[in-house]
Copies of this chain bind each other. A is one copy, B any other.
Amino acid sequence: MTWQLAQRAHKMNPSVIREILNVTEKPGIISFAGGLPSPLTFPVEAMAEATQRVLSQDGRAALQYAASEGYGPLRDWVAHDLKKLGMHVSPDQVLITTGSQQGLDLIAKILIDAGSKVLVETPTYLGALQAFTPMEPNIVGVASDAEGIDPEALAQAHQGEAARFVYLLPNFQNPTGRTMSEARRAAVARVAAERNLPIVEDNPYGDLWFDTPPAASLASRCPDHAVYLGSFSKILAPGLRLGYMVAPKAIYPKLLQAKQAADLHTPSFNQRVVAEVLKDGFIDRHVPTIRALYKSQCEAMLAALAREFGHDGHGGEAGPETLSWNRPSGGMFLWTRLPEGLNAVDLLPQAVAHNVAFVPGAAFYASEPDPRSLRLSFVTATVEQINTGIAALAATVREAQAKLSKK
């Protein structure tokens, strides 16, 4: 055998979602499966103009190697922007990353030894599980409900062997769309500060609120105990692969060394173009248009679900014999639960036969998945497709229930 793989390589797996997306990418299918932002929101013209300005004014610098920390004016912008979340950040604490996915990879590298305990919400973002797995942690799912992670369960999970960190996505979480309540934020920050539990706070969706902005970030409440991850993927465009992390001084230098070894620096071209797009308050004009679009799409999906399933879906009230769903206050996702006796993994091929697709929720659990859960994205399909797709989903569920009652 020529190639001897590292132990950790045996633990890596192809993304389940990626494989699902392959299956569901047949023509004519209405997909609620992907986690892609709506391309209608990409600021193509602003990008084209900014690119021309950057290349004509400072093209050679934009195409040269650059500092691993990131482009100064972009770091300044990030530090200033985070005031909206109650954060007081120096640009020196900002590290520009190649998407916020890279932030997760760097964190895993500097904080996880083989066997280290890492705490996550139940369910949690699949990409984080994938980023942590190569460093061979013992990932422990902590009890969570519609308000987010349970602070008491969190404190308990940190007892005995200390966890290296808890990974949290407080705003419009992927996959559930849920938002952590103010009370939970306060309680979680208290646990972190009192029990020395580091928080990795991931906030790719925080700007996508429908009616009111989310509460202050966890990092604003215990800045020395938190690394904060942000992203331009959902407010500008993911194809730029531009994210950032804000780290306390205790670990910034190690993150920077890991960053340098990983890809030297994030493309200077992209950083300068985005800094050029952002100046003069572009985001303040642009992001409200995304919010309005996503809110109307979410409302369309909620209305279609209510129409097709004959109730307003909320939580357990709907009863175990029908589909239930939550009501996100922002973001891109809606979390639903199939009627008793059905299983989202088994249902998917039947849904695809009806020309509609979703992601079974099982992919998002560190352990013991809820087989009835599934994730629906409401941002990529049009309202017409949402209506057709939800009708197809309802037909699929009714058919599966009918088969079930025959058995």
Contacts and interface: CB of A to CB of B under 8 A. Distances in A.
A52 B196 CA distance: 50
B52 A3 contact: no
A155 interface: no
Contacts of A63: 39, 42, 44, 47, 236-240
Interface of A: 1-9, 12-15, 18, 35-37, 39-40, 42, 44, 47-48, 51-52, 55-56, 59-66, 68, 98-99, 101-102, 105, 109-113, 116, 127, 130-131, 133-135, 162, 164, 196-198, 224-225, 233, 236-242, 248, 250-251, 253-254, 256-258, 260-270
A246 to B, nearest CB: 14
Contacts of A105: 261-263
A350 B131 CA distance: 46
Given A262-B105, A269-B270, A44 B55 contact: yes
A205 to B, nearest CB: 15
Contacts of A36: 64-65
A404 to B, nearest CB: 36
Interface of A is mostly: helix
Contacts of A112: 6
A6 B113 contact: yes
A4 B256 CA distance: 17
A55 B51 contact: yes
Contact of A6 (B4, B39, B109): B109
B64 A55 contact: no
B4 A162 contact: yes
Contact of A12 (B52, B134, B261): B261
A13 B254 CA distance: 8
Contacts of A116: 6
Contacts of A35: 65
Given A2-B250, A9-B254, A98-B98, A60 B48 contact: no
24 contacts: A2-B198, A4-B111, A5-B111, A6-B112, A9-B254, A12-B261, A15-B257, A37-B64, A39-B61, A42-B63, A42-B64, A44-B60, A47-B63, A48-B51, A51-B52, A63-B237, A65-B238, A66-B239, A99-B264, A127-B264, A241-B263, A241-B264, A242-B267, A262-B262
